[in-house]
Every structure is written in C-alpha cells, then in structure tokens.
Amino acid sequence: MLHDCISIVGLGSLSPLGNEPDKIWKQYTNDSHCFTIQKQQQQEVYVASLSKDALDEISNLKKVNTKYKNLDNSVLYAILASQKAIKNAGWLPESDFGVNIGSSRGATSLFEKYHADFLQNQYAETLSSPTTTLGNISSWVAHDLQTAGPQISHSITCSTALHAVLNGIAWLQSGMTDKFLVGGSEAPLTPFTIAQMQALHIYAKEKKSYPCLSLDLKKRQNTMILGEGAASICLEKGRKENALAYICGIGYATETLQHNTSISTNGICFEKSMRMALGNTAVEKIDAIILHAPGTIKGDQAEYNAIKKIFCNKIPNLTTNKWKIGHTFGASGMLSIELAILMMQQQQLVSIPYLEKEKQPKQLNKILVNAVGFGGNAVSVLLTKNENSNNSK
C-alpha cells in the first residue's frame, strides 16, 4: 500500500531513442521505429540498439576509469542513466541515497564471452567473477556516484524496473532513508539471448514496415523484438516542488503458473495490480495507460482483457513504446515511466501509427503504467502530474 505521496525528482535514460529528454521526445513524436537488422548466428534478426549518441557516451565512460573497460554493458548503461538522473535531481553523494537497479538478464555479453572461453580453454578467466554477477550493477552505480546508502540488485524478469520502484518506496515509507535511486538496465542483444526468445517462438520473423506489432490485437503471429537501454529515477517522500511527476498509486500481483512464460487469458495478475494501484481513483480519471504489450499474441490480448474488465466502456487512451524500441526486458517498465512523464510534460499522447488514430485527450494528468514478467509478476504504477491530485479524486 502507498501511504505517502512519492515524488519523482530526477530522471535519466539511454535507449534507441537517444540519451537526452529533448532528443527522446523528438523521436517519440515521429512515426518511425528504431529497429535495424543485425546478423546473428548466420541469420538476420531485428534488434533495437542504442542510439549513436548513447553509444558515444558509453565509449567515453570507459575512458574515465580503466576498471570500467571490464564491465558488462548492462552495468555501464546503468551507471550512465543514473549519473543523468541524480544530476537532474540535484542530488549530491553525501546524501547517501539508496540504489536499487535491476536487470532481467544481467551481464549477458560478458557471461556468454567468459563461458565460451571456458569451454575452449577449460579454465575461467580471472575477472569472470564477479563481473558476471547481478549484484554488480547497483554496487558499481553506487561506487560511481559515491553514495554510501543501501545497494540492492534484483531480477524479476520483465517487471524488474517497476519492482525496483516498489522496493524504493518501501524503504522511503519505512523511514530508513529519505532518497532512493531506482531503475532497470538491460543489454540483451547477444546471440544466446536472441536464440532463447526464438526458441519460445515469440520473436518477430517477417520484414515489415512495422516489424513489432505491439498492441495490434489482430496480428496472427508473435512479433516481439529485443531492445537495449537503461533508465533510472530519483524518488523522495512527500510532495517536492521540483517533482517531474508524483506516484499516487502502486499495485502488484502474481498468478499461479500454468506455463513458464505465460499469463492467464484474462490477465488476472494485471487486473489485480491495476486495481491495487487505482485504489479509490475513479476509472474515468485515468487519462492514459502505457501497456507492457510485448508484441506477442497472448501477452497483448491478456493485458487488454484485464483493462476491459476494469474500465468496461470507459477505456482510456492506450499506448506503448515497444513498437518503436522493442522489449528491453528489465528496463522496459522504467522506460515506460519515462514515456509517461514526457507525455504529461508535453500534454501529448504518443499514439501507435499502425492502429486507428486516437483523439488527443483533453488532459494527461493521470497515467497508469504496467509491466509484467515471465510467469505473471505484474506491477502497476499510477503517476500524476498535478501535485494536488489524490486517490479520492
């Protein structure tokens, strides 16, 4: 339960859209996607790689400290996104803020490299551990930012970043800290990771003008595509004047596993998490929902079914960013929060070009953001722009 208003006072990200808010928003306002074709294991597949500006920043980051050259991209992405977030928030190292950056896959590139070397040479290289451990992310972020607050890393598959939000809020409400940096980072564009998604028969196969048909409920095949990136936000308890947005509701739910990767047809976990996040908020007060919608037939439909059950004939504007930047696994929920904040700041809905054009809403004051991980670990976060908003309105 959310007992206090939580302010988002800082935001930083890097993704296929770019690495600065103005560039990211400009990308969102055009109808083009960020997918390119990459050759993997003798086949061509769609991926969404970091923008050139973001890649240049990563290259420069490695020059700052020679130790950074041995880190996985998932760690480097998290460091850079977090640097941007605390600069945006005006936090200083002596604040001793907490850090919770998660990842679904963790150090994918390094793990695959070190394991391949082990199979060939029959010995493990010196830095193969701890550089491939999941805890590597938050510890290096904390080291880079010189904060002595709690450092936590976790993986709850594709809802990892929003679970980091829940965890950060729990720490704030407990009174154990007054500032928390939370986020998600993912660098999954590796041969084995992509092969795993293909083995599940959910990866996009056809070359189309829009290869990922996220939220297109009429599609006849799965169209998920992987993207990479990271995003972090700075949380403080209470209503802060410098807030980019306020968190006024949180929800979470899991459902009984029927299959390792699936959720129920009616998205039971989504329904429960959204109802919890909404609390006493009237459904007609929700201006938009940013869906998880990975581009799979069953996943997209299940989430939509849950929305229909809650909102009935008062369904708000629906959107997602996966048609544009792909599924960034553990970072995806935080990149959706970024989209929500940008839409509220600009008062403009980012619509999906291949779907029927929705009318621009009169306002974008309350936006619900969803994420779910394999097996039905759903999280919903309700954001509001108006500091005077509360759950009873």
In the chain, helix, strand, coil percent, each to 5? Answer: 40, 20, 40
Would you put residue 343 in left (φ > 0), alpha (ψ -120 to 50) or beta?
alpha
* 130-168 confidence digits (pLDDT tens): 999 888 899 999 999 999 999 999 999 999 999 999 999
Specify the pLDDT at position 152: 96
Q: What is the pTM of this model?
A: 0.96
Kindly tell me if the per-residue pLDDT of 180 is higher than 70: yes
301 vs 390, residue with greater confidence: 301
Specify the pLDDT at position 202: 96
- Up-side HSE of residue 370: CA atoms within 13 Å toward CB? 33
The structural domains of the chain, ordered by start, are 8-237 (3.40.47.10), 246-384 (3.40.47.10)
299: nearest Cα among 382, 197, 371: 371
**How far is residue 303's CA from residue 291's CA, in Å, rounded to a whole number?**
8
